[in-house]
Amino acid sequence: MVPLLDLSRIHKPIQTELERAALDVLRGGRYVLGPQVGELEKALAAYCGVKHVVSCANGSDALLLALMAFDFQPGDEVITTPYTFFATVSAITRLQLRPVLVDIDPATFNIDIDKMRDAITPRTRAILPVHLFGQPVDMDKLMAIAHKHGLHVIEDTAQAIGSRWGDRFAGSIGDIGTTSFYPTKNLGGFGDGGALTTNDDALAERLRILRMHGMEPKYYHKFIGINGRLDTLQAALLLVKLPHLDGYAKGRRANAHRYNELFAKLGDAVTIPVEIPNAYHVYNQYVIRVQRRDELKAFLAKRGIGCDIYYPVSLHEQECFAYLGYKKGDFPNSENAANTSLALPVFGELTPAEIEEVVSAISEFVA
Ligand SMILES: *Cc1c(COP(=O)(O)O)cnc(C)c1O
């Protein structure tokens, strides 16, 4: 028995602090935009090295708010990849913008930057790179292209909080970074939560207003915003976890590297994830590639070993996006990843014996 993720193990060492923080909020009575929300925003801004953090209700709203913060017009194009969580693309379509999808680099699962350059048209307004599984996109290369074409950059950092490109944190390099505190993310809350990061004063102000129905001052609406606030309770609990975020990443990295060593002995039956130079990968997911992936998943399930597929369907093949006009075969690397990728348990509190159990089951399968 090895769980894909065991939150109780992660929370056990800080249980007393978490309970105290929750109780403070219950007794304090300021459940919406209470003082802990501002404290978390400050602490997170200091951690990520950005001027502003605007917290919000979840990572999907963070993407929506980020896109709302610019004066994009219906039909304007936003470039991203089809190999990501649904919300990356649905945020674009919800605003009547057009997602222009670009295939991934098969080595990193992240957007192929050369193909991204070729996808720029006169209607392109923004690029939305996703730092998938915890590894940042090559932001030097991406930003150079964005600047050359005058494009905005919104970084989907939902899976990569704490990861770095060189010495800069993912989410701090483009115009806006978005992140998620969904419980399975590296900085997971106790329900839904999210945040936006930016160094731009005007954008931060606009995001704050948009998060509150576009209201400023009270009952006067400059913009049509949303109710996208983070609960005080989540902020208070996240303040307890934030000091541990680097430690969580270190644990995940150590486990990923241990897997790499063990899988190396299996030859090329298992393709291990690649870390690119300059990237500090935080392994929200440790994703291998194998043939007969669905059979392996069933085999591991029988042994009580947790694993999952992120993602089984490339977004261009989703029914709701059929109107975009893409078809099977348009993004072969993304489709191939959807057919062969498998995420294994990697959270920092796994024991060495559990990692060996996972690897020995897989080696039995591929033998
Ligand atoms: C989790 C996730 C989101 C959405 O975050 P929620 O908080 O679940 O709304 C967006 N993009 C990516 C890449 C994600 O993994």
Q: Which tokens belong to 143?
A: 């930003």
Instruction: Give me the residue label for tokens 């393709």.
Output: 271
Report the pLDDT value the prediction gives residue 344, as an integer from 0 to 100.
Answer: 98
Task: List the one residue out of 134, 177, 142 whose CA is nearest residue 156.
Answer: 177
> Residue 177: pLDDT band by 50, 70, 90 thresholds?
very high
DSSP secondary structure letter of residue 156: E
Q: Is 188 in the pocket of ligand 1 (CB under 6 A)?
A: no
pLDDT at 293: 98
| Mean pLDDT on 48-72 | 97
Strand partners, 28: none
For 103, the 3-state DSSP assignment is coil
Measured from the CA of 185, which atom of ligand 1 is nearest?
1
State residue 78 phi and psi, 5-degree precision. Answer: -125, 125
C-beta 192 within 6 A of ligand 1: yes
Three-class DSSP labels, 113-146: HHHHHHCCCCCEEEECCECHHHCCCCHHHHHHHH
Task: Check residue 261 and give its pLDDT.
Answer: 97
Element holding 101 (H helix, E strand): strand 98-101
The CA radius of gyration of the chain, in Å to the nearest whole number, is 20
Q: Percentage of residues in the chain with pLDDT exceeding 70? A: 100
Residue nearest to atom 1 of ligand 1 (CA): 158
- Give the DSSP H or E segment for 357: helix 352-366
Q: What is the pLDDT of residue 288?
A: 98
Angle at 88 between CA 222 and CA 227, to 5 degrees: 35
Cis peptide before 323 (omega within 30 of 0): no
- DSSP secondary structure letter of residue 174: S
Asked if residue 88 has its Cβ within 6 Å of ligand 1, the reply is: yes
Q: What is the mean pLDDT of the chain?
A: 98
Q: Give me 275's structure tokens.
A: 């870390």
**pLDDT for position 207:** 98
pLDDT value at residue 247: 98
- Which residue, by CA, sits nearest to atom 14 of ligand 1? 158
d(CA 156, CA 3): 27
Query: How does pLDDT run across 213-250, given as a tens digit for each residue?
Result: 999 999 999 899 999 999 999 999 999 999 999 999 99
Would you say the CB of residue 155 lies under 6 angstroms from ligand 1?
no
Helices (H), 34-162: 35-48, 59-68, 86-94, 113-118, 139-149
Which two structure tokens, joined as six digits, stand for 186?
């590296």
Q: Which residues contact 259 (CB under 8 A, 6 or more apart)?
A: 272, 286, 288, 344, 346, 355, 358, 359
| Distance (Å) from CA 184 to ligand 1 centroid | 10
What does the pLDDT read at residue 251?
A: 98
User: 60 CB less than 6 Å from ligand 1?
Assistant: yes
Would you state the pLDDT for residue 107? 96
Query: Where residue 256 falls among pLDDT bands split at 50, 70, 90?
Result: very high
191 DSSP assignment: S
SS (H, E, C) 287-315: EEECCCHHHHHHHHHHCCECCECCCCCCH
Q: What is the pLDDT confidence band of residue 324, given thresholds at 50, 70 and 90?
A: very high
Residue 340 DSSP symbol = H
Of 278, 317, 293, 339, residue with least CA distance to 140: 278
pLDDT band at 347 (very low <50, low <70, confident <90, very high): very high
Residues 200-215 pLDDT 10s: 999 999 999 999 999 9
Give the sign of the dihedral formed by CA 237, CA 158, CA 196, CA 194: negative
Ligand 1 close to Cβ of residue 234 (< 6 A): no
**Once rounded to an integer, what is the mean pLDDT over residues 4-9?**
98
Q: Are 252 and 346 in contact (CB under 8 A)?
A: yes
Distance 363 CA to ligand 1 centre (A): 32
Q: Is the pTM of this model over 0.95?
A: yes
Tell me: the pLDDT tens digits for 265-311? 998 999 999 999 999 999 999 999 999 999 999 999 999 999 999 99
Span 85-130, pLDDT tens digits: 999 999 999 999 999 999 999 999 999 999 999 999 999 999 999 9
For the CA of 192, the closest atom of ligand 1 is: 7
Cβ atoms of 235 and 251 closer than 8 Å: no
